Structure formats: structure tokens, C-alpha cells
Amino acid sequence: MPDQDGDKTQDPTPHRRQKAREEGQAAKSQDLSSAVLLLAGTLILLTAGRSVTQFVADYSRRLLGGDPWVEADVNFAVSVWNGTIAGLAGELLPVFGLVLVAAVAANLAQVGFMFVPKKVQPELSKIDPLKGAKRLFSVQSVARLVFGLFKVLVVAAVAYFALYGEKDTILGLAALSVGEVTVYMTQLLLWTTVKIGIALLILAILDYGFQRWKHEQDLRMTHQEVREEMRNLEGDPHIAARRKAVQRKLAMDRLSEAVPKADVVVTNPTELAIAIQYEPEKMDAPIVVAKGAGVLAQRIRRLALENGIPIVEKKPLAQALYREVDVGKPVPHQRYAAVAEVLAYVYQLQGREAPSARAA
């Protein structure tokens, strides 16, 4: 069945993508950012947690043990508080900084840098209870609920198997000291969290793939939308066609004035035409007064025939002049010899004496 205007069968145009991005629409999975944050935070604690734990233990031993306090005035309390804050800051700020870097990297990897001020502007439609109810009971909300329940089952399964594999050690914790139990339970909790984070990361990557697919489907366009976008960007087709016709007429008029002044027309033989004029008394070098390809080349040749201007077929020279010289500009010095040869040939045909070229 042929596509209809109402079917979104066309890929989104670059303008459509840019407009959607300016409005803050991009493929993003919040689960992916959360999974990366959980996994990165846990791994950072596994590597840097020992230093933090050691600091807390030493600090507690120093405050709660040793010599008794003989004074407890305001200055003493402020000093203890400042020491505590400074010590914790030195240990925790690097951890928080790495977690922050991981969170920013997870978001930038998905959508890049986006600055959308309108997203933070208040909109009454966002607090409309009717629209809120529609969003709550929409197909997308139901799908998110099902996916959320599935994630809970996955987390529970991963935690169960992680702890079940350590059941013998857990049952034997009664024989260990309090310190050993604390260290083991901390390690078990962190490594179980790592396994859960990996499982959530896999699910989040799948969710991100789905979000990208859905975003592409939402951006797809109908034939009518493509036509309207082209009309808005390029203007009305009738006006554009009229503008091109006017530009073409102006180009033809300029050729009608310039070509009769030329001494020779160099061709390619049919695709290109370059009209060259040379007046030794006024010019240091020959000048390209007109050039064209296709229809314009045909027009130049026709005008040359009507005005008795010689036409010389020189394919390499025509290509070089068309590529290197703009209309109204002199011939470059590396082309002097070839152009002089053509002019000498034309003067010989016309029985004229070849002028001495000052540029040469």
C-alpha cells in the first residue's frame, strides 16, 4: 500500500533533529545514569573506603581514648569540630568528586552538552491534574512499571545468589571476632552491591537502546511535514522558481553585454566557454569577461557566433581558466603563454598584427 501523508515513513531531517534538541528532546535513560552512579560509587568505596574507615577509627580512638579532657569550653569544642570537618573533608571530598565526575560523564555520554533554559521555566501545563492523570495511566507508564518490577526481581535474584554462595562463611561468623565480622560483612555488602550494579547496568544499556529507538520513531516525519519544512526553509517553491528565473535572466543579460567585447572564446568544447578580452593599451594582461558551463556556455558560444568572435577549442586551457579565474579578473601569469598562443592564432586568422603584450 502506498505511503500516505499521515504515515511517519520519512527519516527525520537535520533541522528536525536540531529543533528537537533545542527543545530538550534527546534519547536518555535515567536508569543508565543511576546504574553508572551506583557502580562507580561502590567501586570507589572498595578502593578508597579503607582509607576513610582507617581515618574514622583513628579519630574515634584519639577522641574516646587516651588522656581525659580537662576542659570543655566553647573554644575547645570549636577546635574539635574544625579538626573533624577538615579531616573528613580531606578523606571524603576526593570520593565525592569522583562520584560527581562519573555522574556527569554518564549524562554527557548519552545526550552531550545541552543548554535548554526553557526547561527550567514554570509551565502550568505540567501541574494540570488531567494531563498528569493521562501520563500516569498511559501505556508508557505501564511499561515503566513492568520494567521496574522486573528490575526488582533481577536485584533480588542477584542478591540471593550472591549471599547464597557465602552461606557457609556466614554461618561460621560466630567463631570470628567483632572486628573480623565487621570487615567481612562490609566486604560482602560492597561486592554484592557491585554485582547488583553490573546487572542494573546491563538492563540500563538495554533501556537506553530502547529509548534511542523510541526517540527516532518520535522524530520520524510524514511526507507532508517534509514538504512543509522545505517550504519554510527555502520559501515558497513558486517564488524560488521565479527568483531563479530572474537570476538566470540577469546572468544572460550580463553575457549579452560582455561577450561582444571579447577577442576570443575558449571552449571545452561544449561544456565550458570562457570569453577573453585583451587591449594592450589599457590592460597589463588578458581579462576573462565572461565564463559559463552548460546552458551559459551555449549562450556564450551563440553570442560569439552572432558577433563574429572566433571560438577556439582548448580543453585543458578552458578547464584551467574556468577553475582559476573569476569574471573580470586577469589571466594568471602561469597561463600567459597558452592565452598568448590562442590570441596569436586569432590575430593570424583575422589578418591582424599581433600586439606586443606588456604583461609578457
| Gap between the Cα atoms of 118 and 126, Å rounded | 13
Last residue of one domain, picked from the residues 217, 233, 248? 217
| Gap between the Cα atoms of 109 and 33, Å rounded | 10
Q: Which pLDDT does position 68 carry in this prediction?
A: 63
Same domain, 210 and 275: no
C-alpha distances out from residue 360 to 23, 116, 204, 293, 318, Å: 63, 63, 74, 29, 20
Pick the closest to residue 275 from 315, 322, 320, 324 (CA basis): 322
Q: Which pLDDT does position 357 carry in this prediction?
A: 46
Q: Which pLDDT does position 48 carry in this prediction?
A: 76
Q: Which pLDDT does position 292 carry in this prediction?
A: 86
Same domain, 327 and 268: yes
Handedness of CA 344, 345, 346, 351 (dihedral sign): positive
Same domain, 113 and 210: yes
> Is 358 part of a structural domain of the chain?
no
- What is the domain-level CATH number for residue 295? 3.40.1690.10
Range of the domain at 117: 14-122+148-217
Give the up-direction half-sphere exposure of residue 335: CA atoms within 13 A in the CB hemisphere: 24
Same domain, 279 and 161: no
> 34-38: long-range contacts (C-beta < 8 A, 24 or more apart)?
34/200, 34/204, 35/197, 35/200, 35/201, 35/203, 35/204, 36/102, 36/103, 36/105, 36/106, 36/201, 36/204, 37/99, 37/102, 37/103, 37/106, 38/193, 38/196, 38/197, 38/200
Could you write out the DSSP letters of every residue in 292-324?
Answer: EETHHHHHHHHHHHHTT--EEE-HHHHHHHHHH
Same domain, 188 and 282: no
| Gap between the Cα atoms of 91 and 109, Å rounded | 28
What does the pLDDT profile of the chain (360 residues) look like in tens digits?
344 445 777 788 887 888 887 777 788 888 888 888 888 888 888 887 777 777 777 777 776 666 666 666 777 778 778 888 888 888 888 888 888 888 888 888 887 777 666 665 666 665 666 666 666 666 677 777 888 898 899 999 999 998 888 888 888 877 877 767 777 887 888 888 889 989 999 998 988 888 888 888 888 888 888 878 777 766 556 666 777 777 777 777 788 888 888 889 999 877 899 999 988 888 888 989 898 888 888 888 888 888 888 888 888 889 999 888 888 889 988 888 888 888 888 888 877 766 654 444
> Is 238 part of a structural domain of the chain?
no
> Is 356 part of a structural domain of the chain?
no
Same domain, 167 and 267: no
Same domain, 177 and 80: yes
> Is 138 part of a structural domain of the chain?
no
> Is 81 part of a structural domain of the chain?
yes
Domain count, the chain: 2
Which phi and psi (to 5°) does residue 308 adopt? Answer: 70, 30
> Is 31 part of a structural domain of the chain?
yes
Are the C-beta atoms of residues 162 and 192 closer than 8 Å to each other? yes
Same domain, 31 and 101: yes
Q: Which pLDDT does position 134 carry in this prediction?
A: 65
Last residue of one domain, picked from the residues 162, 187, 217? 217
Q: Which pLDDT does position 122 carry in this prediction?
A: 63
> Is 250 part of a structural domain of the chain?
no
Same domain, 271 and 210: no
Q: Which pLDDT does position 359 carry in this prediction?
A: 41
> Is 246 part of a structural domain of the chain?
no
Same domain, 205 and 290: no
Same domain, 191 and 328: no
Same domain, 66 and 176: yes
Last residue of one domain, picked from the residues 187, 217, 247? 217
pTM above 0.85, yes or no: no
